[in-house]
Amino acid sequence: MGWRQPLLLLWVTLSSLACSTAYEEDSIRMGLASAPITLDPRYATDATSERINRLLYQRLVAFDERSMPIPAVADWQRLSPRRYRVRLNQSAGRFLQGRRLDADDVIATYRYVLDPNNASPRRSGITMIEEIVKVDDLTVDFKLSRSDPLFPAYLTLDILPADLINSDHDFARNPVGSGPFSFNAWPLPGRLILKRREDNRRFEFVEVKNPTVRVLKLLRGEIDMLQNDLSPELIDYLQAQAGIGIERRDGSNFTYIGFNLRDPQTADPRLRRAIAHAIDRQAIIHHLMQGAARRAEALLPPEHWAGADALKAHAYDPQRAVSLLREAGYGAANPLRLVYKTSSDPFRIRLATVVQSQLKAVGIEVELRSYDWGTFFGDIKAGNFQLYSLSWVGIRTPDIFNYVFASDSLPPAGANRGRYASVAVDRLLQQLESADSLERQAQLYHRIQRQLHADLPYLPLWYEGQVVASSPRISGYRLMRDGNYDGLEQVRVRRQQGMEDGHIAVAY
Amino acid sequence: MGRFLFSRLISALVVIVGVVCLVFMLIHLVPGDPVDVMLGESALPADREALRSSLGLDRPLAVQLAEYLKGVVRFDLGRSLHAKQAVAELLAERIPATLELALAALVITLLIAIPLGIVAAVNRGRAADWGAMGFSMLGLSIPNFWLGPMLILCFSLWLGWTPVSGREGMSSLILPAVTLGMSFAAILARMVRSSLLEVLDEDFVRTARAKGLDEKRVIWRHAMGNAWLPVITLVGLQLGALLGGAVVTEVVFDWPGIGSLMIESIQKRDYPVVQGCVLFISLAYVLVNTLTDLIYGLVDPRIHGGGGR
């Protein structure tokens, strides 16, 4: 019997060590692939933090379906090309202390981000602001260093309370905002709890890294919903499960293959065109992604106000690819050999493998190299690659073209990772600086996209679709095109009230 | 014994300082920049430099290392570059989960491995031996990233006995502990079997049997008593590995332990947290190995007693 006592003691010790973090029954639980890093929007750069922060804070401007800026908590007026007046409207909410968001909060937030000593990653987007002047408690004037008709689209900082900014409050762990949700607790790194202000409903954001486990948790009712970051097979599996609702919609996150224009091989436009004709994007979307994407021809989707919708697709044409390769001096005796770099993300590796196989069919030998994110991204920024694949997520404003394709936007000054240099594109980007209306800007952006389509510094692949899977316990979630979580404002828990006429009656 | 402990303490210090220095250099040599991860790609170069300077990352590596070691001596492990929290706090959040999982996995390992190894050794060449070693081979061959989801499917989804993942009380500990314990049990069972087989052929076991002692007493008291040393060595090494974090199991079960913290920190190039995790893991290894050596002395007094009576 002697051995049983220490064993029992050990088990009791373990029991007491095991902290209880059981979920509350009335909570709505969302499974996340990665937890937010910081709830201070001045420093958030990861997608999850930004999505959660949208729930906690309010911002002056929002976007419509065409990505045009529309009023959120403020309306604006262009007083002159370099002066905008912003007036808070009725949508401006209250902070937890009961005080309504006002001009002082707007000024404090923007001044904090603009201060170079604070090293906010958001500063680069608003450096054109020269001066911020308070007109009255609800009105602020922004004076700009240069004219920009798209300026309101940059007024997307989450607004923090001025008094707490001044007292150096720890927003990262204890956020205070005027958004539709308030912070409740963050008991574990992977478990964040918010409350919806409207009805005090608890929302738990639970990090579940493994996608299969995330799906199993949904099926067992441990989480109520999960959004994106699922392989097509898992989505198919969920679709076949009784009671699980799947909703999809088109997205705007853009996936592409990037070329190094300073590499002696990939600098040859015939070779880039050959690759474009050798990759069957539609087949990849159909078979690998099971339809959960739409083919892209440019960085911005066609519905974007500056998007180009008349670009001729680089059609899948292996014969044309072979003849372009032959023109460039490659053939069976002298096959083209390229290195394709990718991250260690399993889906990226699968995509790279499919591309490798399709390129092999036209005689291009591709060597795949996958690295952890830091190493991979370091190589890409340093221009140490021939081919790579990445996505642009959450792009709203077309100034991305300057950031990605201007010849002076080489990293770290910009994201021209492929070292693309086009006199035509640079000239068009310069003309944009003097374009005084959005219509004129849209025309110039269309021309830029046509030039890029011809030069192929990127091979556009697709816009990834959004998908949400939810348990029968909840309803009303609205899926957003950019994958944000704003739909949580409408989500409701169904209450079973019993059987009526053989059906379960559900109340909201 | 005092001399032994002193010499162990000195070698432990050398090992820990060596490991910390080596990891410090290696993590800084790996491509990737924490400033990039913190500010994103769109940050202005001036802001990058300002942040790099404020974090002290612009100083020579040797200076950074010296500063870090000075901090460690004062029990200051620095602050996370990302979470803006003290590294000691982050470790304190994760260590209970790691201890809990390591101990539970060790219990499961011992509960499975020792009986299995004994049964296999005592029944050498018979069906029970084949069965036990077949089970052990299975445990060795099944990777944790597959076993974990299978156990979840069976015990959480179909039977509904345990939560799928997370650290939500005692029931959530069972599946990760079994997943982790299975592979360790497979190795340990083979070790118990081979140690016991060696001892079972010794004269003193034959003598014990000849004296008419019952088989249970012969196995447990006489044979196992002399077969413990290699088993204890292996258990010590396994406990060290368990305390070092079982990354795959932690990821599958969303167990908030040291292993997953270290992997996340490596991905984010959060140098102070990686250093803190490495320090904890080295300390755990050294402590467990020292304890193992002490237990050797208890099991076989000749070891620390100079080798003779």
> Which residues fall within 8 angstroms of residue A132, CB to CB, at 6 or more apart?
A106, A107, A110, A111, A140, A141, A142, A143
Indicate yes or no: CB of A222 within 8 angstroms of CB of B166.
yes
B44, B46, B165 member nearest A208 (Cβ): B165
On average, the pLDDT of chain B sits at: 86
In this complex, is the C-beta atom of B89 within 8 Å of any C-beta atom belonging to chain A? no
Measured between beta carbons, the chain B residues lying within 8 angstroms of A208 are: 165-166, 254
In this complex, is the C-beta atom of A392 within 8 Å of any C-beta atom belonging to chain B? no
B42, B267, B269 member nearest A403 (Cβ): B42
Q: Is the pLDDT of residue A503 over 60?
A: no
Work out the end-to-end distance of chain B between its first and last CA atoms, rounded to an integer number of angstroms. 15
Q: Could you tell me the two tokens for A179? A: 């958004």
Higher pLDDT, A117 or A110: A110
Indicate yes or no: CB of B31 within 8 angstroms of CB of A119.
no
- Name residues 202-221 of chain B within 8 A of A (Cβ): none
Higher pLDDT, A86 or B9: A86
The CA distances from residue A256 to A173, A302, A380, A381, B75, in Å, are: 35, 16, 14, 16, 48
Q: What is the DSSP track for A239-268? A: HTSTT-EEEEEEEEEEEEEEE-TTSTTTT-
Q: Is the pLDDT of residue A499 over 60?
A: no
Taking the CA of residue A394 and the nearest CA in chain B, the distance in Å comes to 13
* pLDDT of res. B304: 62
In this complex, is the C-beta atom of A187 within 8 Å of any C-beta atom belonging to chain B? no
Q: Could you tell me the two tokens for B282? A: 């080295």
Q: Could you tell me the two tokens for A127? A: 């450096």
Taking CB atoms and an 8 Å cut-off, how many pairs form between chains A and B?
A: 156
In this complex, is the C-beta atom of B39 within 8 Å of any C-beta atom belonging to chain A? yes
Within 10 angstroms of residue A97's Cβ, the number of other Cβ atoms is: 9
Indicate yes or no: CB of B82 within 8 angstroms of CB of A10.
no
**Which segment of A294-303, B27-36, B58-67, B84-93 scores lowest on mean pLDDT?**
B27-36
> Which chain A residue shows the shortest CA-CA distance from B146?
A212
- Percentage of chain B lying above the pLDDT 90 cut: 28
Q: Is the pLDDT of residue A12 over 70?
A: no
Size (chain B), residues: 309
On average, the pLDDT of chain A sits at: 90
- Residue of A117, A209, A221 lying closest to A168 (CA atoms): A117
Q: Is the pLDDT of residue A250 over 60?
A: yes
* pLDDT of res. B307: 46
Question: Mean pLDDT, to the nearest integer, of B66-83?
Answer: 87
In angstroms, rounded to a whole number, what is the distance separating the alpha carbons of residues A251 and A113? Answer: 30
Measured between beta carbons, the chain A residues lying within 8 angstroms of B256 are: 188-190
Instruction: Report the DSSP beta bridge partners of residue A131.
Output: A143
- Range B122-142 burial, b when 16+ CB lie within 10 A, else e: beeeeeebeebbebbeebbeb
Measured between beta carbons, the chain A residues lying within 8 angstroms of B170 are: 14-15, 18
Give the pLDDT confidence of B126-160 residue by residue, as tens digits: 999 999 999 889 988 999 989 999 999 999 989 99
The CA distances from residue A277 to A166, A415, A461, in Å, are: 57, 26, 12
- Name residues 199-228 of chain A within 8 A of B (Cβ): 206-210, 212-213, 216-217, 219-220, 222
Question: Mean pLDDT, to the nearest integer, of A142-162?
Answer: 95
Within 10 angstroms of residue B241's Cβ, the number of other Cβ atoms is: 18
Q: How open is the CA angle A271-A275-A281, to the nearest 5 degrees? A: 160
Top-confidence range, A262-276, A470-484, B66-80, B106-120: A262-276
Amino acid at A479: L
Measured between beta carbons, the chain A residues lying within 8 angstroms of B148 are: 213
In this complex, is the C-beta atom of B84 within 8 Å of any C-beta atom belonging to chain A? yes
Burial class (CB in 10 A: 0-12, 13-18, 19+), A183: buried
* pLDDT of res. B305: 57
In this complex, is the C-beta atom of B265 within 8 Å of any C-beta atom belonging to chain A? no
In angstroms, rounded to a whole number, what is the distance separating the alpha carbons of residues A345 and A87? Answer: 45
B30, B153, B170 member nearest A375 (Cβ): B30
- Residue of A161, A125, A135 lying closest to A45 (CA atoms): A125
Q: What is the DSSP track for A435-448? A: --SHHHHHHHHHHH
Measured in whole angstroms, the distance separating CA A169 from the mean position of its chain's CA atoms is: 27
Burial class (CB in 10 A: 0-12, 13-18, 19+), A168: exposed
Indicate yes or no: CB of B32 within 8 angstroms of CB of A188.
no
Give the pLDDT confidence of B222-248 residue by residue, as tens digits: 888 777 888 888 888 888 888 876 888
* pLDDT of res. A17: 46
Q: A316: part of which helix (H) or strand (E)?
A: none
B168, B253, B267 member nearest A372 (Cβ): B267
Taking the CA of residue B51 and the nearest CA in chain A, the distance in Å comes to 6
B38, B103, B254 member nearest A10 (Cβ): B103
> Which residues fall within 8 angstroms of residue B26, CB to CB, at 6 or more apart?
none
Indicate yes or no: CB of B43 within 8 angstroms of CB of A15.
no
Taking the CA of residue B263 and the nearest CA in chain A, the distance in Å comes to 11
> Which chain B residue shows the shortest CA-CA distance from A392?
B41
* pLDDT of res. B50: 83
DSSP A94: B
Q: Is the pLDDT of residue A14 over 60?
A: no
Question: Mean pLDDT, to the nearest integer, of B120-127?
Answer: 90
Taking the CA of residue B24 and the nearest CA in chain A, the distance in Å comes to 17
* pLDDT of res. A498: 43
- Give the start-end residues of each E strand in A11-157: 28-32, 58-59, 61-63, 69-71, 74-80, 83-88, 129-136, 139-144
Taking the CA of residue A195 and the nearest CA in chain B, the distance in Å comes to 21
Q: Which of A14, A129, A226, A241 to mutate to test the interface with B (most CBs of B within 10 A)?
A: A14
Helix residue ranges, H only, chain B: 2-29, 34-39, 45-54, 61-73, 87-122, 127-141, 144-151, 171-200, 203-210, 215-217, 224-243, 247-252, 258-267, 271-299
In angstroms, rounded to a whole number, what is the distance separating the alpha carbons of residues A278 and A296? Answer: 16
Indicate yes or no: CB of B45 within 8 angstroms of CB of A173.
no
Task: Give the pLDDT band (50/70/90) at residue B5.
Answer: confident
Measured between beta carbons, the chain A residues lying within 8 angstroms of B28 are: none
The CA distances from residue A96 to A99, A171, A382, A489, in Å, are: 7, 13, 46, 18
DSSP A479: -
Task: Give the pLDDT band (50/70/90) at residue A25.
Answer: low
Helix residue ranges, H only, A420-506: 423-434, 438-455
Task: Give the pLDDT band (50/70/90) at residue B277.
Answer: very high
The CA distances from residue A95 to A42, A60, A136, A183, in Å, are: 17, 15, 19, 11
Q: Is the pLDDT of residue A507 over 50?
A: no
Q: How many helices (H) and strands (E) are present in chain A, helices listed first?
A: 14, 23
Backbone angles phi, psi at A52, to 5 degrees: -70, -40
Top-confidence range, A53-62, B86-95, B116-125: A53-62
In angstroms, rounded to a whole number, what is the distance separating the alpha carbons of residues A394 and B75? Answer: 42
Task: Give the pLDDT band (50/70/90) at residue B309.
Answer: very low
In angstroms, rounded to a whole number, what is the distance separating the alpha carbons of residues B35 and B115? Answer: 53
Interface predicted TM-score (ipTM) = 0.76
Backbone angles phi, psi at A159, to 5 degrees: -90, 130
Q: How open is the CA angle A498-A503-A506, to the nearest 5 degrees? A: 55
Instruction: Report the DSSP beta bridge partners of residue A248.
Output: A467
